Structure 1
């Protein structure tokens, strides 16, 4: 008898972005780096959800690797470089499962290693695919608030003020998005009240 395939939320797992790791100094072309502690945080709450020990080696004529130790997991991922169109090199992970080059690898919930999104095809879905429009609006607002909150008390601010380092154009764009999601939530609330009012009228 056929069974319905159960998919888990990809964002519920852990994510490694090689471009972000390079920008943050965890990986450096031409150098050996680490070991370092790498935390993952919940984007909505800022709470640390896991911590790994990472190291990398990008010296030598092509024997480049990235190592991550997380609980019982001790995984080595090959690193590859591709020439850029206007000079320099772009770095990638080589997926341990598909052997494709990718900028991001994921460890889905319940898995024991990091792989590309293509390796988890059919097993995962994005968080937005599990959510209603209202859920997506709440999550998007929480994500914007987490980006802006800084040292402010989250209980005192619905939409935090612009951080000193952020451009006004960026802040204005986030403010517009926040207001759009607020409109989505208000529209849903108005519709809900209308349905409840109509239901009460029928009962009366």
Structure 2
């Protein structure tokens, strides 16, 4: 999902790009590493009850393979118990309510995460990598160098008892990492 273009309907409402009872239009732009990575124009047509939708217009491909795409995404809402309305997009392929649609690299239309079979980063981590990822997150949180056996230092201003709690967690994660390294070495040694 990292390199995918994403349309977030809640964000569009928060930023005034979509509004119930109105017909608004504009453009959305994406960047990756500070460089432009995509843009589309849209119309948020919400002024006719029962016919609310997003009309997306964009170009994909280049040269002779260039395709002008016009995609319609239906909208619906639910009424939460605390009142008001919560708006949703209907995935054009799975026909399920979603808050976000994605267009991955090489994709041809915006669709739900489920339709594109996109996973979250934590779902792509192998089980053997998880202790290392948790260890690196702890090191990053404390402003330390990241790496197995890179150590941990108490940040200035942190209470000693707080640091002791983090240090205990670090030692547990370090032990889990050692177990994974030993298992990996055993697999390589067995070949």
Q: TM-score range by the shorter chain?
A: 0.5 to 0.7
CA RMSD of aligned residues (A): 3.1
Q: Does 1:82 align with 2:43?
A: no
The Cα shift of 1:179 comes to: 3.1
Q: Does 1:125 align with 2:89?
A: no
Cα distance per residue 1:16-62 (max 9 Å; x no partner): 1100011111111110001x1211122xx333211111111111221
The Cα shift of 1:74 comes to: 1.5
Mapped to 1, the partners of 2:72 and 2:99 lie a distance apart of 16
Mapped to 2, the partners of 1:24 and 1:46 lie a distance apart of 21
TM-score (norm 1): 0.59
TM-score (norm 2): 0.62
**Paired residues of 1:77 and 1:96 also in contact (CA < 8 A):** yes
Bigger relative contact order, structure 1 or 2 (CA pairs below 8 A, ≥6 apart):
1
Q: 1:37 aligns with which of 27, 36, 46?
A: 27
Who is 1:26 aligned against? 17
- Structure 2 residues without counterparts, runs of 5 or longer: 60-67, 152-173, 175-191
> Secondary structure in 1 aligned to 2:115?
helix
Who is 2:171 aligned against? none
**Paired residues of 1:105 and 1:117 also in contact (CA < 8 A):** yes
Mapped to 1, the partners of 2:76 and 2:36 lie a distance apart of 30
Q: 1:11 to 1:88 in 2, by over 3 A?
A: same
- Structure 1 residues without counterparts, runs of 5 or longer: 1-9, 141-175, 192-204
Q: 1:188 to 1:46 in 2, by over 3 A?
A: farther
**Paired residues of 2:113 and 2:119 also in contact (CA < 8 A):** no
Mapped to 2, the partners of 1:186 and 1:46 lie a distance apart of 27
Q: 1:49 to 1:177 in 2, by over 3 A?
A: farther
Q: 1:186 to 1:80 in 2, by over 3 A?
A: same
Who is 1:11 aligned against? 2
- Structure with higher Rg: it is 2
Mapped to 1, the partners of 2:29 and 2:139 lie a distance apart of 28
Matches within 5 A, 1:160-179: 178-179=140-141
